[in-house]
Amino acid sequence: MTLSAPPTRSLALTPQLYINRELSWLEFNSRVLHEAFDARNPLLERLKFAAIFSTNLDEFYMVRVAGLRRQLAANVTVTAPDGLSPQEQLDAISTRVRELLAQQQRLLHERLLPELAERGVRLVPLEELTASEWVRLDEYFEKQVYPVLTPLAVDPGHPFPYISNLSLSLAVEIRDPMTLEDHFARVKVPRSLPRWVKFGRANQFVPLEQLIGINLRALFPGMEILNWYAFRITRNSDIELLQSEEPDDLLETIEEQVFLRRFGEVVRLEVQTGTPQSMRTLLIEELRDDRLPPNATLTEADVHEMGPLLELGDLRELAQLEIPELRDPPLVPTTPPRLRGVNGGIFDVIRQGDVLVHHPFDSFQTTVEEFIERAATDDNVLAIKLTLYRTSGDTPIVRALTEAAESGKQVVVLVELKARFDEANNITWARQLESAGVHVVYGMMDLKTHTKTCLVVRREADGIRRYVHVGTGNYNSKTARQYTDLGLFTSNPEIGADLSDLFNFLTGFSRQRHYRKLIIAPGDMRERFLALIERERVHAREGRAARLIVKMNALADPAMVAALYAASQAGVEIDLIVRGICCLRPGIAGVSDTIRVTSIVGRFLEHSRLWYFLNDGSEEYYLGSADWMPRNFERRVEAVTPVEDKLLHERLRMLLETYLRDNRNAWVLGPDGCYTQLRADDEPEIATQLIAVTSTWGSSPVGP
């Protein structure tokens, strides 16, 4: 049948049918925290999840909460699709976060740390140290810590010091014995030193802030130290580029914004349990931004009491201790059979048939990095074009691109400077690539280039041929070991031509919206996906089998939610495997009876995006970089490719079926917005990520 745009009579999306985006994200982070509670996970892995919960929450406050507070400051009264105003969302967020933080504190101090102590991993109270251990710590403080510290007094001659985002500090109460006057001082706990200080016992540590606190007299000689309390702040850290302004130099603009980020308003204050109200009030008064209206700046409602330890993201350092029995068994990625022993002939293999890879189970090094490295050294390769959203250090990919440019190949790299919290890193690599002769493009003012694509142009006996990699994950060797992602290698001429057109759009002047095979944002991606859903709806309405399976990180676009509701009402069987935010309510009688929503949270971060449409038996699979969120359709450059090689369909079908059978890491969303974790009970336990370790999803027989 002909693929056409859906009719305009789509189901009205009332607030009751839409789950709030921010609250849905908090439920995802709750599932992350649950992994720290789950005794089926090794102890250090549980500690890792407790740390991830904290770092996730940091970013949530820096961006999402900060954005809501900015709306208050601007007197925005428009409600979210679920009907909540900015203030109502902030109130609901505060309530839920406090519940989750209380759970985290109980978990950490009543279960995790005591259980780890039984296995020899401890944070040791200072009063337990022996005399010889004190000697060792005193020497460490004098030689390594003291020279780095800078005490900052607050008095009429010394204004309250600048406090950097997410930095751990000590608020110190001091008394001058000569005048009996009390003073306040701040001491920053330096990030340049290990947070967990070794003192001689294997796998046992003292928190750095406690070592500093016990030695404060060395910083304030002649003064009486009354008390000290740890505190930490979170600032608005979202970079804002005004769409009305066209910067002459985007690189310079981003650098300026990264610098200004340091001075964003404070949106959260974390304090140590026991911090007196007088100290809390002093900190609030000094940290509040008087330029903002009272309802948008720091108040007591923004103070979180965090127990004896702050900066819990640092627990991830302890989680990396080399104690095999307390950690997951190591994953050893494999090379897909078709790519084993090809001796540099990776292009010959791809020319014979498409290759599917599934990371981290398939090696990123022997697939994606090998593809780019071979392209860099192959004399027949004329050009390499690649989008770089996030990368990791001096990687083989960066070195290969540099080598290719130096050898005279045309190398174009789109470096996305607006990749959140990776801006400074990307600026560094952009300049290194430029210095080697790579043509570096910095993206566009009003669009973030999120697509994960690589194009290799090669001269062959029968003419010019394009080789393509389209993936769901970044060209980042570190996250390729931690995230699950899919990638497709193909020499399909139409996909190659589409990718050439996409790079021309990114590097030149083009208003192209329609492509041969690829589904591209900000072109017609939303319309194309709506049309695919509508096609299934029509099949169901006409009595034919209709089915769709969607695997993504997030579903928040109101138009897509409404289209899925309409398809469900027509009888389409729908499975949504959505790791994080899901604003759709499944299982509502007469609205979403046929929709099931599952979230997989486990050892690896589920990051792949995959779509399946039954299409009356002519099945279609797609993979790519986009979630179904307004930003992906409207403010990002995204690419989704069809997977047309029938030999790969069976692999993808098996993968999706395994996700839907998971009873180990799967959570099911109810119509009330609450998630319930599936349990195997008396049935065999099925964990998608464990099955994938022993499977070869990317290995397909040689194509025809």
**Strand, helix or coil for residue 471:** strand
Q: How far apart are CA 322 and CA 202, in angstroms?
A: 11
**Residue by residue, what is the 3-state secondary structure of 588-614?**
CCCCCCCEEEEEECCCCEECCCEEEEC
Active site residue 450: yes
Cα separation, 44 vs 361, whole angstroms: 22
Contacting residues for 476 by C-beta, under 8 A, at least 6 apart: 390, 391, 392, 395
Residue (of 577, 646, 602, 578) closest to 360 by Cα position: 602
Tell me which residue of 609, 581, 611 sits closest to 597, measured CA to CA: 581
Q: Which amino acid is at 308?
A: P
What is the sign, positive or negative, of the torsion defined by CA atoms of 507, 509, 511, 516? negative
Q: What is the DSSP string of 106-152?
A: HIIIIIIHHHHHHTT-EE--GGG--HHHHHHHHHHIIIIIGGG--EE
274-282 contacts at long range (C-beta below 8 A, 24 or more positions apart): 274/229, 275/171, 275/229, 275/231, 275/305, 276/229, 279/171, 279/173, 279/229, 282/171, 282/184
Q: Of all residues in the chain, what percent are helix, strand and coil, respectively (each to 5)?
A: 40, 20, 40
The three-point CA angle 131-132-137 to 5° equals: 95
Pairing of strands 448-449, 636-642: parallel
> Which two three-digit tokens encode residue 354?
């498409």
What distance in Å separates the CA atoms of residue 377 and residue 323, rounded to the nearest whole number?
41
CB 591 within 8 A of CB 569: yes
Nearest Cα residue to 11 out of 453, 604, 566: 566
The CA-atom distances, in angstroms, between 385 and each of 89, 206, 484 are 43, 49, 24
Of 450, 469, 539, 607, catalytic: 450
Give yes or no for a cis peptide into 522 (omega within 30° of 0). yes
Instruction: Report, as residue numbers or ranges, the catalytic residues.
Output: 450
